[in-house]
Amino acid sequence: MSSTAIEIQSKRGVWGGGNEPLKASYGKLMMWFFLLSDIFTFTAFLITYGAIRVSYPAYGGEAADFVSSNEYWPIPEMIFDAVPLVHGGHFPLVFVGLMTFILILSSVTMVLAVEAGHRNDKKDVVKWMLWTLLGGITFLSCQAWEWTHFIHGTDEGAMLTYVNSLGNVVSETVYGANLIVNEYGPAPFAQLFFFITGFHGFHVTIGVFLLFLAFYQAAVGVYENRGHYEMIEKIGLYWHFVDLVWVFVFTFFYLI
Amino acid sequence: MAQENKNGLEVIPRDSAKIKKIWMTALILLVVTAVEFLLAFTMERGMFLYIIFIVLTIVKAKYIMMEFMHLGDEVKPLFYSIIVPLIFLIWLIIALFKEGSDIFLMRW
């Protein structure tokens, strides 16, 4: 916010200069427009997922008798059914539901940090930033586990006929997933999993670095000396966006 | 009680109504997620369920953008410059789903 008051002449109008038509600082505005462009990137990913999915046959039988094959698109809840420490268990969507809860809660602690920043309350900002940071790191760790499990696959694997990287048609039992073949469904299923959750995880990773920066700077009093906590607000916008994207990924990748 | 730190920055005391509202929003988000989770296992898979999921997701997105990101508190020109460009996505959805279902017809 500008500290000098400028007399606005009525003939110059709102957009004539000398005032702030959007009532937001440069940094906040640019963060919003960056997020808008990021919305387009993520929606392009998710719409591509939908387009590729409808280009494959859907699984026709009962969900309970689902067997994975590269002939048809899998039912996500039958694929994402593993939780840590329980080997070979069937707990559909439990782990990814837990991840969603963790990310939403870290978004809540973030908004509490922003609120504390408005009140110039350093102690509360530091406390809530630390909780948000913990939430972010926990989410990333969960995702690392999920990727590991997805790549290594189940004990049974799946008997598939596919074209391998040398261009030969092979029939063999496939375990886990890579960019050429996976035991869960057609090749694009794993490709999209890696690209969409990977790109989101990349955003979370950057977010965790930014959260640490904000936590550190708040703790050593950088924002207090600066006189405002706007950086918390800007990083908060980014962090909420990461949560927003996950809400959509959860619906379109895991539920539907 | 308001207090000042060494830089003369005034610390405003907590407003419990505001903080309560944040936690209420969090509760709504968690409950909606739990409902989605339940529906995924109790309802028959199909277009009707998918539409429910999409509506619930948009409800969640609205709460995150309005309450957490405070987009609703920004001035109208800023609000619309974020929301209006999203209409391009409607075209993208129509175009790519048409493309996808045509590829399906060609291939199978």
- Distance from C-alpha of A118 to C-alpha of A102, rounded to nearest angstrom: 25
- Of all helices (H) and strands (E), which one includes residue A60? none
Residue B73 has pLDDT above 80, yes or no: yes
**Pick from B56, B60, B97: which is nearest to A54 by CB?**
B97
**pLDDT surpassing 70 at residue A6:** no
- The verdict on ipTM greater than 0.85 is yes
Of B18, B29, B96, the CB nearest to A104: B29
What are the pLDDT digits (tens) for A175-227?
Answer: 999 999 999 999 999 999 999 999 999 999 999 999 999 999 999 999 999 99
**Structural domain range at position A147:** 21-49+77-153+188-255
Between residues A203 and A88, which one has the greater pLDDT? A203
Residue B57 pLDDT grade (very low, low, confident, very high; cuts 50, 70, 90): very high
Would you say residue A85 lies in a domain?
A: yes
Residue A66 located in a structural domain: no
Q: For residue B92, list chain A residues with Cβ-Cβ distance below 8 A.
A: 43-44, 47
pLDDT confidence of residue A197: 96
Going by their DSSP bridges, the two strands A169-174 and A158-163 should be labelled as antiparallel
> Which residues 215-254 of A have a C-beta within 8 angstroms of B?
224-225, 227, 236-237, 240-241, 243-244, 247-248, 250-251
Task: Determine the Cα–Cα distance for residues B2 and A57; give it in Å rounded to an integer.
Answer: 64
| A202-212 pLDDT per residue, tens | 999 999 999 99
Contact B2, A221 (CB under 8 A): no
Residue B2: is its pLDDT beyond 80?
no
Q: Which of B62, B64, B106, B108 to mutate to test the interface with A (most CBs of A within 10 A)?
A: B64
pLDDT > 70? residue B74: yes
Please tell me the least confidently modeled range out of A10-19, A20-29, A165-174.
A10-19
Is residue A7 predicted with pLDDT exceeding 80? no
A88 within domain boundaries: yes
Contacts of B78 in chain A (CB under 8 A): 22-24, 29, 32
Q: Which of A46, A78, A101, A119 would best serve as a mutation to test chain B binding (most B beta carbons within 10 A)?
A: A119
Predicted local distance difference test score (pLDDT) of residue B1: 43
**pLDDT averaged over every residue in chain B:** 89
**Exposure class string for A181-192: b at 16+ Cβ within 10 A, else e:** bbbbbbbbbbbb
Dihedral, CA atoms, A212, A215, A217, A218, nearest 10 degrees? 170
* CA separation for the pair A135, A99 (Å, rounded): 10
B91 shares contact with chain A (CB less than 8 Å):
no
Do A255 and B67 make contact, defined as CB atoms within 8 angstroms? no
Q: Which of A63-77, A239-253, B43-57 has maximum average pLDDT?
A: A239-253
Tell whether the model's pLDDT for residue A8 goes beyond 60: no
The confidence score (pLDDT) of residue A218 equals 95
* Overall average pLDDT of the A134-160 stretch: 93
Question: Which contiguous run of DSSP H or E holds residue A195?
Answer: helix A187-219
Facing A50 at nearest CB: one of B5, B33, B97: B97
Full-model pTM: 0.90
Looking at residue A226, its pLDDT comes to 92
Contact A43, A49 (CB under 8 A): no
State in Å, rounded, how far the first CA of chain A is from the last one: 45
Chain A contact set for B19 (CB, 8 A): 112, 115
**CATH code (residue A250):** 1.20.120.80
Residue A213 lies inside a defined structural domain of this protein: yes
Mean pLDDT (chain A) is 91
Angle at B103 between CA B102 and CA B104, to 5 degrees: 85
Of A44, A57, A224, the CB nearest to B108: A57
Report pLDDT for A247.
95
The count of domains in chain A is 1
